[in-house]
Amino acid sequence: MLDIRDRDALAQRVLATEPDDVFHLAARPLVRLSHAEPVETYATNLMGT
């Protein structure tokens, strides 16, 4: 498992595994948590994409 926000680790994993497709399913769906932690939510939902 790796943190989707870690661009270098993600790039290494993609290069190592050569996947046919990549799906981003790591979004934070909880609205209350998103309001409480907006920076982390932004980083996961948008920068992770």
Q: Going residue by residue through the chain (49 aa), what tens digit of pLDDT does each one get? A: 888 888 899 999 999 999 999 887 877 777 888 889 888 888 877 777 7
pTM for the full predicted model: 0.60
d(CA 48, CA 23): 11
Q: Is 5 within 8 Å of 43 (Cβ atoms)?
A: yes
The candidate with the shortest Cα–Cα distance to 49, out of 22, 24, 20, 28, is 24
Which distant-in-sequence residues (6+ apart) come within 8 Å of 33 by Cβ? 41
Look-up of token digits 């996947």: 19
